[in-house]
Structure 1
Amino acid sequence: MDVVFDRVAGLDIGKKLVVVCVRTPGERGRRVSQIRTFRTMTRHVEVLGEWLVEEGVQVAAMESTATYWKPVFYGLEDRVECWLLNAAHMKAVPGRKTDVRDAEWIAQLVEHGLVRPSFVPPPSVRRRRNLTRYRVQLMGDRTRHAGRLEKLLEDASIKLSSVASNITVTSSREMLAALVAGDRDPSVMADMAHSSLRRKIPDLTEALIGRFDDHHALLVGAMLRELDLVDEALVRLDAQIEAEMTPWAHELDLLRTIPGIGPVVSQAFIAETGGDMSRFGSPESLAAWVGVAPAVHESAGKRTPAGSRRGNKWLTAALVEGAHSAAQSNGTYLAAQYARLASRRSGKRAAVAVAHSMLVSA
């Protein structure tokens, strides 16, 4: 088999150690392997980088092992060309698995050009990714805190969520704060309602009659403080994301012309893709990378359904959320596409198809 790269390195990465196999040309056309083990601390990674440079390594390839590849990849990317490889593309011979053999197997695959690198964005894009992904996690935390709060109120026979659509808005928060402070008069608390909720004051009065005691007050107070902390963190995070996205203002405006794509989805799109469409070559390649393109499974000339392939789960989730919003729009192609597919294929599959169309448009 032809050798594509003369000098390569294969790295098998763990949490504490990284085993490195460097393969270089030897005598009489043979290939020579050198094996070394390094710790994954920053200074040890720097020593590893110096060794790779001394050996003239053209490509250093590693498997995407959890998040353990990041310190090594980021420490080497300024010294040598680094490739991040999909673990599913590198299955070795079973029954002969060691860290050393894994490193050598990676090096052999790369030197013969049998694998392709995954897309790893530059540091500026990684910084935006960290911000937008953390926002998703904070929103998940907020939802979980609200769910715990609602369950505790049910335990106290406070049926606030049966009247108010959201127990974390201003009116509900003021009523709950009054309960925590020791006010147990339901009519007084119901009178704290604002705007349209005031039309439901009689129902609110009934809903606030329960068995709310001091231990409920202690727990609800703690949950409200957690919600406040998450809300404050979200405000600061949104401000930082807006600042980071300033250079992409024009692209964000263009993305928001697509039905279903709002500020959050457009920011996620720029953060995850880097905003440079030339990296992907075509809309089909981008859809496959994101994970909204159908997988292919063909055997003996027959094709069987294989679902959608794995991809960027963060951008997929944002686009599917945008697809559900687009399905509610009036007089748009995306809404018609969703309605047509949902009637015969299910709403979830229709949402993925609409997300694919939104991605092609983007």
Structure 2
Amino acid sequence: MSGTKKSRSKRDISPTHQNAAAIDIGATMHVAAVGPDHVSEPVHSFGTFTGDLHRLADWFTQCGVRTVAMESTGVYWIPVFEILDQRGFEVILVNARDAKHVPGRKTDISDAQWLQRLHEYGLLRASFRLKGEVAVMRAYLRQRERLLDYAASHIQHMQKALTQMNLQLHHVVTDITGATGMAIIRALVAGERDPMVLAAHRDPRCHASAETIRQALVGNDREEHIFALTQALELYDVYQAKVALCDVRIEAVLKRLRKASCASVGKPPCVRTMKKQSNGPAFDVRAALHGLLGCDVTQIHGLGPYLALKLVAECGTNLSAWPNAKHFTSWLCLSPSNKISGGKVLSSRTRRSGSRAAALLRLAAVAVGRTETALGAFFRRLSARVGKAKAVTATARKIAVLFYNTLRHGMKYSDPGASHYEESYRRRVLTNLERRAKSLGYTLQPAPAPG
């Protein structure tokens, strides 16, 4: 028996973090746990007021804690994380998936103690979290996206009010928030009802003729519908003004980041496309990104200036948190998983993820699938073979690799074209067929030309 106990003690794992603590985050109460060898009562509960959080930090200081782990529970972890980080603790945010599959943890106390135990032995991985001005820019961009969503709902309200009056404006113009649509709506709100006068607000670039617009604007005006249209327009204008304020803040953050980088950059390459992005910022995003990054990521097909800005805000400016492109695509949940047991692949499905960066890359993949590029040809070939859903994920992964190599290693992307990709794919298929025929004792020969 003594020999067995001795052998077990030799196999004990030594702690990685001697002064580790953990917090079980809640909406109204936080449960904190430290090592049982520090104090007689290793678990304490604290409220969620700011004073309670400072008392939590004081208790950690008394216990000699240096590093703290917590799960990312909603948004309740943010105040705790920021206060502890300001007080000098090394705080790591962990994914609940890494510690939830353990039986017997049914209370907040046992949950906190288990987290502390895992963190003490270095069994928890810290999640990626932006810091500094990039995190500030990400907050402004997310606020901007929320404002655009709110404005979009009022666009639907305006369209509903027009439909109730049988004004078929959305059938004759591409976008009712364009130059022609907004001019007509503002004239309607101002009291104009004559279809001829309303049709005179047609922009010269509008495809519909003035007569078509006039016929579409003959409707049944009612007071309550005009009232609803007026309020929807006013709210839409309010959100557009708030979006403009966000653009000012985002541009200021980009200038501060550019000044802090102190990197000398040359002249940006030629613009790949002159098409203006809808709902894009009011300033020159492409020039600002080139000055900050030293490279032009918009040369990659599918990545417009605004989408590239949001990607940089979600992932950082240098992507140094990931050793290579495989780690980066795995973090995005765009690479196949490796669920293997007994030498047999049980599943290779990509993990589900709520990553905003992955969603942006999937949008880029859908957009590039309609282009005559190598990426577009890859998307269409894979879509015909395995379906669009898998083709979107695979193309998004390719774009992610190009994005990583451009930012991390300064790669210059040059599209070889759809025809080059198709010819390369044809050569690969032919090489595989020749190898299989040779293994079976046959030789492939080209078919004779017809006639």
* Superposition TM-score, scaled by structure 1 size: 0.91
Q: Which has the higher contact order (CA 8 A, sep 6+)?
A: 1
Match of 1:278 in 2: 320
Q: Distance in 2 between matches of 1:321 and 1:286?
A: 18
Match of 1:154 in 2: 163
What is the Cα deviation at residue 311 of structure 1? 3.9
Q: Secondary structure at the match of 1:195?
A: coil
Match of 1:184 in 2: 193
Q: Does 1:201 align with 2:213?
A: no
1:237-256 superposed matches below 5 A: 237-246=246-255, 247=258, 249-251=291-293, 253-256=295-298
What is the Cα deviation at residue 221 of structure 1? 0.6
Q: Does 1:166 align with 2:175?
A: yes
Q: Secondary structure at the match of 1:83?
A: strand
What is the Cα deviation at residue 305 of structure 1? 5.0
Match of 1:220 in 2: 229
Alignment partner of 1:338 out of 379, 386, 403? 379
Match of 1:51 in 2: 59
What is the Cα deviation at residue 110 of structure 1? 1.1
What is the Cα deviation at residue 329 of structure 1? 3.5
What is the Cα deviation at residue 159 of structure 1? 1.0
What is the Cα deviation at residue 184 of structure 1? 2.0
Contact 2:161 2:226 in 1 (8 A): no
Distance 1:348 1:137, change over 3 A: farther
User: Mean Cα displacement is larger for which, 244-253 or 98-107?
Assistant: 244-253
Q: Secondary structure at the match of 2:206?
A: helix
Q: Distance in 2 between matches of 1:314 and 1:135?
A: 14
Q: Distance in 2 between matches of 1:103 and 1:55?
A: 16
Distance 1:199 1:80, change over 3 A: closer
Match of 2:390 in 1: 349
What is the Cα deviation at residue 63 of structure 1? 0.9
Q: Secondary structure at the match of 2:125?
A: coil
User: Mean Cα displacement is larger for which, 213-222 or 119-128?
Assistant: 119-128
Distance 1:199 1:124, change over 3 A: closer
Distance 1:300 1:212, change over 3 A: farther
Contact 1:6 1:24 in 2 (8 A): no
Contact 2:32 2:112 in 1 (8 A): yes
Q: Distance in 1 between matches of 2:108 and 2:305?
A: 45
Contact 2:254 2:292 in 1 (8 A): no
What is the Cα deviation at residue 69 of structure 1? 0.5
Distance 1:297 1:152, change over 3 A: farther
Q: Secondary structure at the match of 2:205?
A: helix
More helix by share: 1
Match of 2:50 in 1: 42
Q: Distance in 1 between matches of 2:251 and 2:347?
A: 41
Q: Distance in 2 between matches of 1:194 and 1:91?
A: 59
Summarize deviations over 1:205-252 as a string: whole Å, max 9, x none.
Answer: 121112221111100011111111122222221232122123152427
* Superposition TM-score, scaled by structure 2 size: 0.74
Alignment partner of 2:362 out of 309, 315, 320? 320
What is the Cα deviation at residue 86 of structure 1? 0.7
Summarize deviations over 1:91-111 as a string: whole Å, max 9, x none.
Answer: 254454111111111111111
User: Mean Cα displacement is larger for which, 273-282 or 340-349?
Assistant: 340-349
The structure that has the greater radius of gyration is 2
What is the Cα deviation at residue 324 of structure 1? 2.8
Match of 2:90 in 1: 81
Q: Distance in 2 between matches of 1:123 and 1:24?
A: 35
Q: Distance in 2 between matches of 1:214 and 1:107?
A: 65
Q: Tell me the percent identity.
A: 30
Match of 2:34 in 1: 22
Unaligned runs of 5+ in 2: 1-11, 259-288, 404-451
Distance 1:252 1:172, change over 3 A: farther
Summarize deviations over 1:61-110 as a string: whole Å, max 9, x none.
Answer: 11110010110011112321111111111125445411111111111111
Aligned letter for 1:7?
Answer: N
Q: Distance in 1 between matches of 2:240 and 2:122?
A: 49
Contact 2:16 2:120 in 1 (8 A): yes
Distance 1:286 1:70, change over 3 A: same
Unaligned runs of 5+ in 1: none
Q: Distance in 2 between matches of 1:272 and 1:198?
A: 39
What is the Cα deviation at residue 4 of structure 1? 2.2
Q: Distance in 2 between matches of 1:244 and 1:322?
A: 25
1:61-80 superposed matches below 5 A: 61-78=69-86, 79-80=88-89
Match of 1:112 in 2: 121
Q: Distance in 2 between matches of 1:116 and 1:54?
A: 26
Q: Distance in 1 between matches of 2:305 and 2:246?
A: 14
Q: Distance in 1 between matches of 2:207 and 2:93?
A: 57
Summarize deviations over 1:258-277 as a string: whole Å, max 9, x none.
Answer: 11212212211221112132
Distance 1:158 1:95, change over 3 A: farther
User: Mean Cα displacement is larger for which, 55-64 or 218-227?
Assistant: 55-64
Aligned letter for 1:278?
Answer: S
Distance 1:134 1:252, change over 3 A: farther
Q: Distance in 2 between matches of 1:74 and 1:159?
A: 52
Aligned letter for 2:217?
Answer: L
User: Mean Cα displacement is larger for which, 315-324 or 159-168?
Assistant: 315-324
Contact 2:338 2:345 in 1 (8 A): yes
